[in-house]
Amino acid sequence: MAVKLTSDSKILIVGGSSGMGLSLAKQSLDAGAKVIIVGRQTEKLNHAWEVLGQSARLSTMNIDATQETDVARLFEEVGPLDHIVTTAADIRGAYELLPDLDISAALRAVESKVLAPILLAKYGAPKLRPGGSITFTSGIAAYRPSTRGTVVAAVNAALEGLVRALAVELAPLRVNAVSPGWVNTPIWTFVAGDRKAETLDAMASRLPAGRIGQAEDIADAITFLMGNGFTTGTVLHVDGGHRLI
C-alpha cells in the first residue's frame, strides 16, 4: 500500500542543498511535507532555502554526516521523522587511474558513501515512526565501471550490500537505494570539467531512453521508495537503460 506524503510527513534529506536532493526537497514541499535539508556548506544551504521559496515547512542544518558526533547531534535535535534520504557524495579526486589516485580522495568517497549511511542508520532509525524508511543513493558505476572509476564502483557496490543488510536488521523499517545513471547534476563538474556538456551528450546518444537523466527523475524514484510500503532491501535503477548497453 502506498503511503502518500502529507502535511504530517517529515523528511530529512542529507545533500538536499543541490542536485537530486534539492529536487526531492522541492517535490516533498510541493506535496505538503515538512523538510529538513542537511549539508556541510552554510552558503549552499542558504541558497537552497531561497531557491525553495523560504518555505515555513523547510529548515536547514549544517552537519557533516561523516562525523559521528555531528550525526548524533542532528538526530537529537530533529525529533521524530518519517523518512531519511541521503544523496550526498564526495567524489572529488576519486576519478583517477590507480597510479594517480590520491588515497585521501578514496577515503572521502568511502566516508561519504558508506560510513555516512551507516551513521545515519545507526542514529536515525530510532527516530523513524512506524512505516518509516531510509533511502540511500548508489549509482551506475557499480554495474558499468569505467576506466578511472575503480573507487566509485567500489563504494556504490558496498552501499548496495549495506542496503540489504540494514533492511533485515532494521525491519520493519524499510531500507532501499536508488541507483541513478548519468544525471545532469553539478557533480559532473568534478567528473568531466569543461567537457561536461560534450560528455553528457555523447552518452545521451547511446542510451535506450535517448537522453540524460534529470534531477527530477531521481526525485520521482525516491518518492516512490518512500511511499511504497512493500518495497525494502531493493535497489531501484533509474538509468535510462544504461545497464543494457
pLDDT score of 117: 98
pLDDT score of 213: 96
Question: Global pTM?
Answer: 0.94
Mean pLDDT per 10-residue interval, the chain, length 245 residues: 80 96 97 96 95 96 97 97 97 93 97 98 98 97 94 98 98 98 81 81 95 97 97 98 96
Q: How far apart are CA 201 and CA 73, in angstroms?
A: 43
User: What cell does 91 get?
Assistant: 567524489
Q: How far apart are CA 18 and CA 114, in angstroms?
A: 20
Q: Hey, what domains does the chain have and what are their CATH numbers?
A: 10-186+214-235 (3.40.50.720)
Residue 220 parent element (H or E): helix 215-227
Backbone angle region of 241, left / alpha / beta, with phi > 0 → left and psi within -120 to 50 → alpha = left
pLDDT score of 191: 67
pLDDT score of 49: 95
Selected catalytic residue, list 9, 28, 112, 138: 138
pLDDT score of 45: 96
pLDDT score of 197: 87
pLDDT score of 3: 67
| DSSP assignment letter at 225 | H
Active site residue 7: no
The angle that helices 116-124 and 68-78 make with each other, rounded to 10 degrees, is: 40
pLDDT score of 187: 74
Kindly report the backbone phi and psi dihedral angles of residue 82, in degrees, each rounded to the nearest multiple of 5, phi listed first. -105, -35
For 57, the 3-state DSSP assignment is coil
pLDDT score of 4: 77
